[in-house]
Amino acid sequence: MNFKSAIILILFCLKTFSQTKIEDLNLMPWPQNITLNEGSFTLSSSFKVTISGIVNPRIFVGTTNFLRRLDGRTGMFFSQGYIKDINEDPSAQLQINSLKKGVVGINQDESYKIEITSNKITIDATTDIGVLHALETLLQLLQNNGDSFYFPNVIISDFPAFTWRGLMIDVARHFQPVDVIKRNIDAMAAVKLNVFHWHLVDDQGWRIELKNKKKLTELASDGNYYTQEEIKNIVEYADQRGILIVPEIDVPGHATAILTAYPEIGSKYLKEPNEQKQSQYKIERNSGIFRPTLDPSNPETYKFLSEVFDEVCPLFPAKYFHIGGDENEGKDWDANPVIQKFKQKNNLKTNHELQSYFTLKLVPMLKKHNKEIMGWEEIMNDKMPKGTIIHSWKGSNEGSPAGESLVNAAKEGFKTILSNGFYIDLMQSVNDHYLSPIIPKETVLSKEEKDRILGGEVTMWSELVTSKNIDSRIWPRTAAIAEVFWSNEKDINLKSMKKRLQFVSNRLEELGINHIKNKKMILRNISNYQDVSSLVDLSNICEPLKIYTRNKGGTEYQTYSPFTLFADACTSDASDAIDFNEVVDNYLQDKSPKNLNRVTEYFKKWIFMHSDLIKLSENAPLIKPILPLSQSLSELSTELLAVLELNKSADKSLFNKLLINCNSRNHADVELVIGDSFKKIIDNIN
């Protein structure tokens, strides 16, 4: 090598080294321990992987998938195709070692260590589950400059803060096809979530094929359900990715679908002996809490459930079975004299005691299949086995302190997990979820009590989602929540999270998550396949109405309503709104011409946007519901532009009137989320 070539090589290496700083790393969740060293490992097409140790075959699937995602990102034609055995190439640059076979479940060793040097990458883990986590971290470590792809030289030792890191998807209100479930399982694995809670039954549908209870799918599924073979396939698919599947059949409330097929075990009292119960129940099409409830006084109820569990439990190897138990108002119990006599006979004073009686009857049915009961916090009572997992969900929306039942369950000897704060269907900002701790601050617990708090679970209720927009409701916010579940609490950093989240969000696309691309698909439908640029601009400053205000009383939208509207294209954390808010703050701190121009450029864009939307609406009726919002925004932008650029005298009363119009939540089930910044500007005008 001549002197000139050596200098070029040194400069190239220095360029590579200088590009990687700790703040450049887009890891999510953030590892427990990370040390960034000088230098890097540069990828080439000769890159290979070898595995040693004692492993579960899932490691071969996971490592092969890692290679395919890596060559997909880099465009390199790796010579190594499918990894099928241990010690395939002892000279490989990536050396993986697993000490023992991993078992999918909670309280497993998921730790791993990655060490990257300039010529070698080593992954060490106790089990292959830890290896899978390490491979996801390694993919996130991938960097590039203009000439090459490389991994920075680092040492990472990592393990989860909580053992239960879950995502629940409700497939009862809106059925989600197999491919939706699988791609979300892949995304879960990418951010180290490890429990998929499958909410399979509710008032709006029964979604499990049962050979011995065919009426459930014939009468209560609208033809949308998973065959037993599909369920087995999904369970295996999740197992290969280190994810446990916990099924849920919600009883005794939320039972409309069950009772549509088997009305004889319902609680509704019939005065006339010949009156048919069949006519009393039909699948629910609205959202909310409904009266149909299983009859706890009827022996046939328990016979039915025992037979259901006998067929469902073998489909799911998980140790836990979620029996719901939430939101039973007991109205049909109160109105049924037979049930009231049953309560008196068994000295059951309240409906909670009656439900506890019911729940305890399920314990041996599930124990028969080596399952431990899990349920929403309403199932907690002092007679439940201490192996029960209490799923805490109530918070300020339900009139309870956040996490109250979590703390109470831990103190009373139960294992418990938290979902309050992680209800992503509320369409709140990622900030709200990211800053929600699993253990409430200032809570005093013993070590034993803390150990009973297993972790947290994201909940995706599906009243307002279909397969077309569910990904945009789950991701990318769930990636940030996954960090709350995994990382050290001291590493929770809002600014850093937002920067890293954008990278992770983009990378989720390679797993088939369509949270980005389906937005334009919905907008193209709304525009009648005209140019969608202006619709995109408006959607980037609008968000769907939050905390169930979009679906007032649960009746505005039925399960068969269209979910291809403007609100379905909008998401939380509207991107231009975030940028505009920052631009306004910068301008108010420094009223330089440059900062003023950045503000007024938004005004000009929104004025043009409204004009363009009017033209588009002439051949696109679905645009018309959003025109009042864009008009209000255009009018306020025009007035502010005249004051800030043309020195027109300000009319504060007009500004405030226009601002009220902009802040209206009466159009298209969305809200403009730039009102606070407008108010700051208006208040600052002399």
Report the distance separating Cα 571 and Cα 168, nearest Å.
19
- β-pair partners for 206: 201
Contact at 8 Å (CB) between 166 and 455?
A: yes
Contact at 8 Å (CB) between 234 and 189?
A: no
Q: Is the pLDDT of residue 7 over 80?
A: no
pLDDT band for position 280 (50/70/90)? Answer: confident
Q: Work out whether strand 389-392 and strand 320-322 pair parallel, antiparallel, or are unpaired.
A: unpaired
**List of residues 6+ apart from 8 with CB closer than 8 A:** none
**Mean pLDDT across the stretch 474-495?**
96
**What pLDDT shows up at residue 17?**
45
**What pLDDT shows up at residue 399?**
87
Which of 311, 327, 372, 635 does the annotation list as catalytic? 327
**What pLDDT shows up at residue 16?**
45
Contact at 8 Å (CB) between 333 and 293?
A: yes
pLDDT more than 90, % of the chain: 92
The pLDDT tens digits of the residues spanning 155-188 come to 999 999 999 999 999 999 999 999 999 999 999 9
Q: Is the pLDDT of residue 214 over 80?
A: yes
Give CA 200 to chain center in angstroms: 17
Report the distance separating Cα 46 and Cα 43, nearest Å.
8
Spatial CA neighbour of 375 closest among 414, 318, 433, 334: 414
Q: Is 457 a catalytic residue?
A: no
**Mean pLDDT across the stretch 6-11?**
50
Report the distance separating Cα 502 and Cα 511, nearest Å.
16
Its pTM surpasses 0.85: yes
**Of residues 647 and 31, which shows the higher confidence score?**
31
The pLDDT tens digits of the residues spanning 608-653 come to 999 999 999 999 999 999 999 999 999 999 999 999 998 888 888 8
Report the distance separating Cα 552 and Cα 534, nearest Å.
29
**What pLDDT shows up at residue 652?**
85
Q: What would you report as the CA-atom Rg of the chain, rounded to the nearest whole angstrom?
A: 28
**List of residues 6+ apart from 641 with CB closer than 8 A:** 600, 603, 604, 607
The pLDDT tens digits of the residues spanning 84-95 come to 999 999 999 999
Mean pLDDT rounded to a whole number for the chain: 95
The pLDDT tens digits of the residues spanning 509-543 come to 999 999 999 999 999 999 999 999 999 999 999 99
Spatial CA neighbour of 325 closest among 254, 239, 264: 254
**What pLDDT shows up at residue 4?**
52
Q: Is the pLDDT of residue 667 over 60?
A: yes
**What pLDDT shows up at residue 80?**
93
Q: Is the pLDDT of residue 485 over 70?
A: yes
- β-pair partners for 154: 36
**What pLDDT shows up at residue 112?**
98
**Of residues 683 and 14, which shows the higher confidence score?**
683
The pLDDT tens digits of the residues spanning 380-419 come to 999 999 999 999 999 988 888 889 999 999 999 999 999 9
pLDDT band for position 686 (50/70/90)? Answer: confident
Quote the longest CA-to-CA distance of the chain: 102
The pLDDT tens digits of the residues spanning 59-116 come to 999 999 999 999 999 999 999 999 999 999 999 999 999 999 999 999 999 999 999 9
Q: Work out whether strand 164-170 and strand 195-202 pair parallel, antiparallel, or are unpaired.
A: parallel
The pLDDT tens digits of the residues spanning 352-366 come to 999 999 999 999 999
SS3 of residue 168 by DSSP: strand
Q: Is the pLDDT of residue 233 over 70?
A: yes
**Mean pLDDT across the stretch 186-205?**
98
The pLDDT tens digits of the residues spanning 324-375 come to 999 999 999 999 999 999 999 999 999 999 999 999 999 999 999 999 999 9
Report the distance separating Cα 263 and Cα 279, nearest Å.
9
**What pLDDT shows up at residue 274?**
55
**What pLDDT shows up at residue 272?**
63
